[in-house]
Amino acid sequence: MSTRTIRHYVDMMTVLAQKDFKIRYRNSVLGFLWSLLNPLAYMVILTLVFSLLLRVSIPNFAAWVLIGILVWRFFSIGTAQGLSTLVANPSLVSKVCIPRHVIVLSNNVANFLGSALEFLVLVPLLALLGVDLTAYALFLPVILVSEFLLVFGLSLSLSALNLRYRDFYQLWDIALQLGFFLSPIVYDASLIPSGFQLVYSLNPVTRLIESARDIFLLNKLPTLFDNAVILSSIAIILAFGFLIFRRLEGRFAEEL
Amino acid sequence: MSVIQVDELWKRFRIPHERRVTVLEHLAGLLSILERKRYSYEEFWALKDVNLKLEYGESLGIVGPNGSGKSTLLKLIARVMRPDKGAIKTNGSTASVLELGIGFHSDLTVKENALVYGVIMGLPRSEMRKRTDSILDFAGLTRFQDAKLKSLSSGMQVRLAFSIAIEIEADIFLVDEALAVGDMEFQEKCLNKFREFKKAKKSIVLVSHSMDLVKRFCERTLYLLNGETRAFGPSEEATRQYLEDVKSSTGTN
């Protein structure tokens, strides 16, 4: 690859990510504020239901659940949008010769930035909720970048598959609903019966949520196990994503 | 040195009898196999053994009736699609203007859209920033630069896209009837740009229904009929053949 190709790739990635980022917040009066209001409203609802009504005994439930929500939001919105990028941009796929993964990547980058901003604005709120923020919080970028790579790998396979079978959109929607309850967002992982603990704990999103809670609430770094699961799933999912994408890319223009 | 060389090019499309695109329909398809109805599709050769060679400084016209494979050939040269058999060699950088305004989004402003389109077409971002003003000036849209694209008429949108497309630096321009749109003044601007390209010894590959345009700008013309080469040679001859075919088929009917 020449430097010219690389520069063109970076340029395309930048303008397409800017475009997706702007479109996400345009045409609404509150714009980016919705990205903050939505998880906050969710936090309030979940705290009311689980902490007050169901009396779940997790200390500082509001802060605890907010962290889970923010990590989950990036995963669910990132993959759901990543999945539809190719179908949503037919002319980019079939009328011009650009590496198609840049379309997926730039959408993921836009959502990564959105998510990073959400954390940046809402983390100080944790302090208001009584959380002692320490230097461990500085580990957050590592968690977010890991999550981004996971989202990118999944988006590659999902977008390519969705181009051929349009119902991947619906299937993934259901998978996300299942995933929400298979991750410790509204309940503590210790509630899972011991027989299922190992399988349950291999979910990379679970590991990301636990890592984020470790650095903010427990003042410790993510465990070796967390990192091992996250890194190996990133490697597998990215490799798988590129493989599927490559395999299906040849017929993209014909199937759109 | 040849600019474009196409050797024994074949392109096949598969048209399922009942187009199944969803997983559910595929499952239904599986069931119908059990009922001994086979999953079947029509094989359709969009291009059959196409050969051509274009020398440095020459331009190519591609003519033929609808569905004869013109746009498919252009997409293959642009490398948007892959051939099933044969090879395409191009010498130099290509710019594909198969559609104007690729990546345009109606909720972004005129200026924002200009940046996205320019960069996708291969212009560096830094260069686009410098040129945006002159591009908008050329398109006559400076006044609307911060308006959303959707507030522009379709003609104005095409003008914006075209004004960006002509800024692309490339050795080979692939153009698919993009000129059919736009008013007279705008078309004249396009023709001027073509003349500049010709002077600079750049190659244009033009898919068009205008024999006049093809004869004016292209030394060679490929006349495609049902995916096969009906004629390839000097534009005067190939277009005459096409006209004769059209006359005889409409005359006998």
Nearest CA in chain A to B82: A250
**pLDDT range class, residue A30, cuts 50, 70, 90:** confident
pLDDT of residue A52: 84
Interface test with A, best of B97, B120, B126, B177 (most A CBs within 10 A): B120
Model confidence pLDDT, tens digit, residues B24-54: 777 776 666 555 555 567 788 999 999 999 9
Per-residue pLDDT of chain B (253 residues; tens, 9 = 90+): 799 999 999 999 887 766 566 777 777 766 665 555 555 677 889 999 999 999 999 999 999 999 999 999 999 999 999 999 999 999 998 988 888 888 899 999 999 999 999 999 999 999 999 999 999 998 889 999 999 999 999 888 988 998 898 888 899 999 987 666 667 887 788 888 889 999 999 999 999 998 998 999 999 999 999 999 999 999 999 999 999 999 998 875 5
Q: Do A19 and B96 touch (CB under 8 A)?
A: no
pLDDT of residue B228: 95
Note the ipTM here. 0.88
User: In the predicted model, what is the mean pLDDT of chain A?
Assistant: 93
d(CA B163, CA B145): 14
pLDDT of residue B190: 80
Q: Do B96 and A27 touch (CB under 8 A)?
A: no
Given A12, A95, A166, which is nearest B99 (Cβ)? A95
A97–chain B Cβ distance below 8 A for any pair? yes
- A190 vs chain B: nearest CA distance in angstroms? 37
% of chain A surpassing 90 pLDDT: 80
pLDDT of residue B33: 55
Domain boundaries, chain A: 3-255
**pLDDT range class, residue A209, cuts 50, 70, 90:** very high
Judge contact between A40 and A74, C-beta under 8 A.
no
pLDDT of residue A210: 96
Question: What are residue B97's phi and psi, to 5 degrees?
Answer: -110, 60
Please calculate the CA angle A20-A158-A160 and round it to the nearest 5 degrees.
90
Which DSSP string do the residues of A135-188 spell out, in sequence order?
Answer: GGGGGHHHHHHHHHHHHHHHHHHHHHHHHH-TTHHHHHHHHHHHHHHHTTTSS-
Residue B61 pairs in a beta bridge with B206, B221
Q: What is the mean pLDDT of residues A209-222?
A: 95
- B13 to chain A: which residues are within 8 Å by CB? 254
Residue B131, Cβ density class (10 Å: 0-12 exposed, 13-18 middle, ≥19 buried): middle
The total number of structural domains that make up chain B: 1
- A11 to chain B: which residues are within 8 Å by CB? 119, 124-125
pLDDT of residue B99: 85
Model confidence pLDDT, tens digit, residues A167-208: 899 999 999 999 999 999 999 999 999 999 999 999 999 999
Interface test with B, best of A11, A86, A167 (most B CBs within 10 A): A11
Q: What is the mean pLDDT of residues A137-161?
A: 97
Please calculate the CA angle A139-A140-A143 and round it to the nearest 5 degrees.
100
pLDDT of residue A79: 98
Say if strands B94-97 and B172-176 run parallel, antiparallel, or are unpaired. Answer: parallel
Q: Would you state the torsion angle of the CA atoms of residues A122, A125, A129, A130, taken in this order, to the nearest 10 degrees?
A: 110
B68–chain A Cβ distance below 8 A for any pair? no
Q: Do A12 and B24 touch (CB under 8 A)?
A: no
Model confidence pLDDT, tens digit, residues A50-74: 888 888 888 899 999 999 999 999 9
B112–chain A Cβ distance below 8 A for any pair? yes
Given A15, A89, A168, which is nearest B115 (Cβ)? A15
Q: Do B119 and A23 touch (CB under 8 A)?
A: no
A254–chain B Cβ distance below 8 A for any pair? yes
Q: Domain of B105: which CATH number?
A: 3.40.50.300
Q: Domain span at residue B48? A: 2-252
pLDDT of residue A26: 82
Nearest CA in chain B to A6: B124
- A27 to chain B: which residues are within 8 Å by CB? 107
Q: Do A97 and B98 touch (CB under 8 A)?
A: no
Judge contact between B165 and B157, C-beta under 8 A.
no
Q: Which of A49-53, A88-92, A215-219, B26-30 has the lowest mean pLDDT?
A: B26-30
- B99 to chain A: which residues are within 8 Å by CB? 91, 95-96
pLDDT of residue B1: 77
